[in-house]
Amino acid sequence: HHIVTPEAISLALENHEFKPWIQPVFCAQTGVLTGCEVLVRWEHPQTGIIPPDQFIPLAESSGLIVIMTRQLMKQTADILMPVKHLLPDNFHIGINVSAGCFLAAGFEKECLNLVNKLGNDKIKLVLELTERNPIPVTPEARAIFDSLHQHNITFALDDFGTGYATYRYLQAFPVDFIKIDKSFVQMASVDEISGHIVDNIVELARKPGLSIVAEGVETQEQADLMIGKGVHFLQGYLYSPPVPGNKFISEWVMKAGG
């Protein structure tokens, strides 16, 4: 167990030890690759891979998450750039964004840089907001949200169903995607209440025309159940864990584009 300090994170940022690991997302109806989620892994030269739960909370509280996210977006663009012609149209790239990043100066410019590098006609950047570190419901935040939306940048509400304020949040920020938390996805087949929660989320999303992603799909039974309930996209270990960028390209992009 690695002892993580802000100083250690700072040094690791200087050495570019934080890398994007990418998990594919698939169309529930056709099974084709439609997008991905970019996750961060700390590739420590001595300790090996340090999982995000050991450094993300500290990165957020220390403000270093802003630099980390900036690096992640730039690296993601660099990884996908050489194969952008192989990506399916409307390929969505999900990146987790905490309140600190969202409100930081220059954030919108960084988002547009990524989109412009990969082609606005080609890809859709999806900023994933979480209730764990929510964007404050303020006019300033809403102005940033609307401005990004006008530039074709979309939003997802991550871990949906786990927080009290979810519905209020949905009113404050009209997102484009809802990601059903893996706990409901995995319990829906064995636990009636979880099943009902998924049904309610699907129903809730139908009116404003939101797309729904089921996260944490681990078995074919879970996948079939989610497809049956009307979920649009599937993501999880049944298909692939998050993998390093080069592996994502060789295993998923080359196959999809080939």
Mean per-residue pLDDT over the chain, rounded: 93
What is the spatial distance between Cα 78 and Cα 24, in angstroms, rounded to a whole number?
17
Contacts 24+ apart (CB under 8 A), 202-206: 202/229, 202/230, 202/231, 204/178, 205/178, 206/230
pLDDT at 248 exceeding the cut of 80:
yes
SS3 122: coil
CATH T-level topology, domain 6-253? TIM Barrel (3.20.20)
pLDDT above 90 as % of the chain: 81
**Going by C-beta distance under 8 Å and a sequence separation of 6 or more, which residues neighbour residue 107?**
101, 144
| pLDDT value of position 258 | 57
Mean pLDDT, residues 40-66 taken together: 95
- pLDDT tens sequence across 55-82: 999 999 999 999 999 999 999 999 999 9
Q: How far is CA 152 from the centre of its chain?
A: 17
- pLDDT tens sequence across 85-129: 999 999 999 999 999 999 999 999 999 999 999 998 889 999 999
